Structure 1
Amino acid sequence: MDPLPPNDNTDLLTAMMAGATAGAVQSVATYPFEYLKTSTQIQDNALILAKPVSPLKLRPLYTGCTALAVGNALKAGTRMCLFNSFSSFMAAENGTTTAPRIVVAGMMTGFVETLWVIPFENIKTRLIENSLYKSGMKIKMDVMTDRFRRGVNSPLKTNKRASTTLAHSLEKKPISHGRLQALKYFHEHPSTTLTGAIKEIYQTQGLRGFKQGSSITILRQCLNSMVWYSTFSSLQQLLDPNRDSTSEFGLFGMGFVSSLAVVATTQPLDLLKTRMQTKNYRLLYRDVMNCAYRIFMKEGLRKFWCGWFPRLIKISVSSTLTLDCYEMSVKSINKLKTMRPFAAE
């Protein structure tokens, strides 16, 4: 869970640089859990023909890490600037701010910063999905494969139940010849590099491919913040109303319970977000409600909570790691600012 900006006297430039560093470090440190969570959610039990081979080395678990690290660094770095601007906007005429105004400023900051990271989330999901295909995952895409094999003007066959929705989507939304050729190429040669994934998304889906799942991502992020902070505040009010005797272990425990509440309530939204950002989303589902319905009918209710354990670990660790890294970065930057490399001794 991303922490709120700290209330200190750090200047804005230092806070932005430290925030960007903390966001990138947190992303790299916890990324294997992100990979395990996303790869589990991508695998559609109703369409899968062959499961991918689990990676035995650490390096494959970092597929897509660069995209997420860049997105989180941009998000964390601009958070301080955005929060400072929204706090000034929400301040009273005399320049003072109250707790409700700060909460509103934090919500506005969370909404805007989420927009920054959505394109990078799509790139990350595409890289993980392509890595699964290269690791042996196969799904029932008979109509797509048949259309690729026979050409753009060939009629679609819908004799297989698993391909009915895909065929309907292709007939309803015809694909241009250039985009179809790009789909064919990347279907056979899935990209596993950052630049390759950007090129694949743009050539197969255009600019809209970078903003897939925007609405569900914003909704999930808002609910994440609401559930985590409300749970943490309730526990703190119950266990330590005066907020003067909570130990570090107690803070960690309250943070873990708050993270557990987030995962328990928002994991279905996280699954839908991942599915909406896959390369075949617009061909397999009409909208988010149709996606939820098909998952429930074809894969069962338990599928909505798949990947909950690695996400729980990631959320639990990320807040503490981000704050610690932020404090260390601030101290390092302040120390560097006092050094005079060209001053005479």
Structure 2
Amino acid sequence: MAPFAKEKPIHSMIAGTTAGAVEAFLTYPTEFVKTRSQFGGKKEGPITIIRETLKTKGVAGLYSGCSALVVGNAAKAGVRFVSYDHFKSLLADAEGKVSAPRSLLAGLGAGMMEAIFAVTPSETIKTKLIDDAKRPNPQYRGLVHGTVSIVRQEGIMGIYRGLFPVMMRQGANSAIRFTSYSTLKQMVLGQARPGQTLPSTITFGIGAIAGLVTVYTTMPLDVIKTRMQSLEARAQYRNSFHCAYRIFTEEGIFRFWTGTTPRLTRLVLSGGITFTIYENIIQLIRTKDSDK
């Protein structure tokens, strides 16, 4: 791979958090449908979930738990890009080049960091809010009330349910997504003129393909994560391995790919939106810095 330009941490943080917040809000309905479809019990298709939610809760129902994901996604993207740039700088060779295996390792490290500092708390809260919203009499009145209630009832570990599968999923997500994106980007840049920047449409397309690859390879970890963060998880599963065992023996191997369609929709859009916004903000910051 060609040498990369190391970004300042504050620039990566600004671009990453902005991209993460925008992407989370725009794609949230697909995340809602994916999460609802992964709960145990009666299997529901995406169209059924959307129709019943609109009928009983209206459009706002498709955004149950959205605030938790927007805040968490902004923090996640910020941590992800700062961590990835940092790990890449540590793993680069003397010429500043980062090979595909080292890019994979940098992505794995970034995914672990975001799982610990942002993803697990935000997704646990989001999952519980979605699970609670489908009940006849929901107990949580929003993000703040839900978070306070969960911590009061279960302690601080109540918002860290499913940490292990989240770390595994985010590590795999970032490793695969960043490596796919970086490899495809270098291939395209190799055909471009020296100094030429990629148009947003190409960046979006590369990011979307990276999202597509990520979905199918990490879907089982996502299903286990959702089950471990549901309201009934403490009564049903001893740990993540027990959860995986029960899903496999009681529901079959294909249950691990439940919710693939909405997650595929979200991550394809997510990859395109996040990388496009990130690259454009970084380019804008570079331009302003050079003007100064």
Question: With structure 1 as the length reference, what TM-score do the two structures score?
Answer: 0.66
Aligned pairs, number: 274
**Which residue number corresponds to residue 153 of structure 1?**
none
Q: What is the CA-CA distance between 1:127 and the residue it aligns to?
A: 0.7
**Which residue number corresponds to residue 116 of structure 2?**
115
Structure-2 change in CA distance of 1:88 and 1:231 (3 Å): closer
Matched, 1:41 2:34: no
Alpha-carbon distance in structure 1 between the residues aligned to 2:151 and 2:237? 20
**CA radius of gyration, larger in:** 1
Matched, 1:211 2:208: no
Q: What is the CA-CA distance between 1:112 and the residue it aligns to?
A: 1.0
Find the partner of 1:310 among 251, 262, 269: 262
Alpha-carbon distance in structure 2 between the residues aligned to 1:334 and 1:231? 25
Which structure carries more relative contact order (alpha carbon 8 Å, separation 6+)?
Answer: 1
Alpha-carbon distance in structure 2 between the residues aligned to 1:338 and 1:235? 28
Structure-2 change in CA distance of 1:84 and 1:328 (3 Å): closer
Instruction: Name the SS of the counterpart of 2:139 in structure 1.
Output: coil
Q: What is the CA-CA distance between 1:325 and the residue it aligns to?
A: 2.0
**Which residue number corresponds to residue 133 of structure 1?**
135
Q: Which structure has greater helix proportion? A: 2
Runs of 5+ unmatched residues, structure 1: 1-5, 135-187, 340-345
**Which residue number corresponds to residue 65 of structure 1?**
66
**Given that residues 150 and 158 in structure 2 are in contact (C-alpha distance below 8 angstroms), is that contact kept between their aligned partners in structure 1?**
yes
Q: What is the CA-CA distance between 1:60 and the residue it aligns to?
A: 1.2
Q: What's the CA shift string for 1:67-104, capped at 9, x where partnerless?
A: 11111211222334434443454466xx7533145553
Which amino acid is 1:40 matched to?
S
Alpha-carbon distance in structure 2 between the residues aligned to 1:338 and 1:64? 41
Q: What's the CA shift string for 1:115-145, capped at 9, x where partnerless?
A: 12211111111111111113xxxxxxxxxxx
Q: What's the CA shift string for 1:17-64, capped at 9, x where partnerless?
A: 121111100110111100000011124239xxxx98422432111111
Q: What is the CA-CA distance between 1:204 and the residue it aligns to?
A: 2.0
**Which residue number corresponds to residue 226 of structure 2?**
274
Which amino acid is 1:271 matched to?
V
**Which residue number corresponds to residue 77 of structure 1?**
78
Instruction: Name the SS of the counterpart of 1:202 in structure 2.
Output: helix
Q: What is the CA-CA distance between 1:258 and the residue it aligns to?
A: 4.8
Which amino acid is 2:219 matched to?
Q
Structure-2 change in CA distance of 1:229 and 1:299 (3 Å): same
**1:69-108 to 2 correspondences below 5 Å:** 69-90=70-91, 97-100=96-99, 101=102, 103-108=104-109
Question: With structure 2 as the length reference, what TM-score do the two structures score?
Answer: 0.77
Which amino acid is 1:318 matched to?
S
Alpha-carbon distance in structure 2 between the residues aligned to 1:105 and 1:61? 35
Q: What is the CA-CA distance between 1:228 and the residue it aligns to?
A: 4.4
Q: What is the CA-CA distance between 1:222 and the residue it aligns to?
A: 2.5
**Given that residues 64 and 125 in structure 1 are in contact (C-alpha distance below 8 angstroms), is that contact kept between their aligned partners in structure 2?**
yes
Which amino acid is 1:126 matched to?
K
**Given that residues 7 and 85 in structure 2 are in contact (C-alpha distance below 8 angstroms), is that contact kept between their aligned partners in structure 1?**
no
Identity percentage over the alignment? 35
Relative to structure 2, which stretch is displaced further, 32-41 or 253-262?
A: 253-262
